[in-house]
Amino acid sequence: MHVDQAILTRRSVRAFLPKPVPSETVARIIETAARAPSGTNIQPWKVYACTGAVRDAIAEETCRAFLTGEPPRDNELDAYPSEIAEHFKARRRKVGWDLYSLMGVAKGDREGSRRQHVRNFEFFGAPVALFTFMDRRLQYGSWLDCGMFIQSLMLAARAHGLDTCPQAAWRDFHRIVRRHLEVPDDEIMVCGMSLGFADDTAKVNTLRTEREPLDVYAKLTGWE
Ligand SMILES: Cc1cc2nc3c(=O)[nH]c(=O)nc-3n(C[C@H](O)[C@H](O)[C@H](O)COP(=O)(O)O)c2cc1C
């Protein structure tokens, strides 16, 4: 697959087929992604991949925690400041409404949005879960490196006909993931991810998110 094709066909998939993904394919995708650059080549990423009974146990326990509030959510590091600029808020609202209206969740329907949100913790039906962690003593340079690694994972998956959904939602339940996958305390969760074959009949997967026009986020200087 041409790299442009992998980038343009990657999207966040939120309904997967139960079709298994062989461990060799998962290992190959992770190895390919590890060709991502990192500052001074420190390669800060640590990936925990699981399927089958381990994946099911994490999903079951986390769905229960999400729905009952016990144990409560526990994010180690805020992903965003509490106040962000209006144009960011507008983009965030737009994707939320687009997603929820596809799912038939009306504005203000808290129960409907909870039902959609809990799908995160079922890995949207994907057979494979991937969690990226890194050494918590590292700083912003390594968060950048892990971001490049995670995008590389998603593009490498495309080359195998697979789809993904990156999921910050898992960071609220890192303790459950940690316990099941024996992740050391000195590692912090960067992001979770669902991996599998997209269910092309699912309405939620028809979502195509927008991007701003080039001149909003790029300035090209020096050309005639
Ligand atoms: C770091 C990160 C965390 C995300 N967390 C979630 C999540 O927890 N649940 C979810 O459904 N989507 C999540 N997404 C997907 C974004 O909503 C999605 O990337 C964005 O709306 C653009 O859509 P696209 O990925 O289909 O191009 C996350 C994306 C990123 C990059």
Closest of 198, 202, 199, 197 to residue 25, by C-alpha: 197
21 contacts: CB under 8 Å, gap ≥ 6: 51, 127, 128, 162, 195, 196, 197
- Residue 81 Cα to ligand 1 midpoint, Å, equals 17
Atom of ligand 1 lying closest to residue 170 CA: 8
Contact call for residues 122 and 65 (beta carbons, < 8 A): no
Contact call for residues 61 and 176 (beta carbons, < 8 A): yes
- Residue 203 Cα to ligand 1 midpoint, Å, equals 17
pLDDT recorded at residue 220: 98
- Residue 222 Cα to ligand 1 midpoint, Å, equals 35
Task: Give start and end residues of each alpha helix (H) in 10-119.
Answer: 23-33, 52-68, 86-102, 110-118
Low-confidence spans in the chain with pLDDT less than 70: none
Give the residue, by CA position, lying nearest to ligand 1 atom 22: 209
pLDDT recorded at residue 1: 86
Chain centroid to CA 135: 19
Q: In what order do the strands lie in the sheet with 45-50?
A: 45-50, 128-135, 187-196, 163-167
Count of other CB atoms within 10 angstroms of residue 97? 12
Give the residue, by CA position, lying nearest to ligand 1 atom 29: 166
pLDDT recorded at residue 15: 98
pLDDT recorded at residue 101: 92
Angle between helices 52-68 and 174-181 (to 10 degrees): 150
Give the residue, by CA position, lying nearest to ligand 1 atom 30: 166
* Span 3-217 CATH architecture: 3-Layer(aba) Sandwich (3.40)
Mutate to test the pocket of ligand 1, among 13, 78, 165, 189 (most ligand atoms within 8 A of CB): 165
CA dihedral 153, 158, 163, 165 (to 10 degrees): 40
Helix (H), strand (E) at residue 178:
helix 174-181
* Residue listed under structure tokens 């994707």: 95
**Domain boundaries in the chain?**
3-217
Count of other CB atoms within 10 angstroms of residue 3? 10
CB 209 less than 6 A from any atom of ligand 1: yes
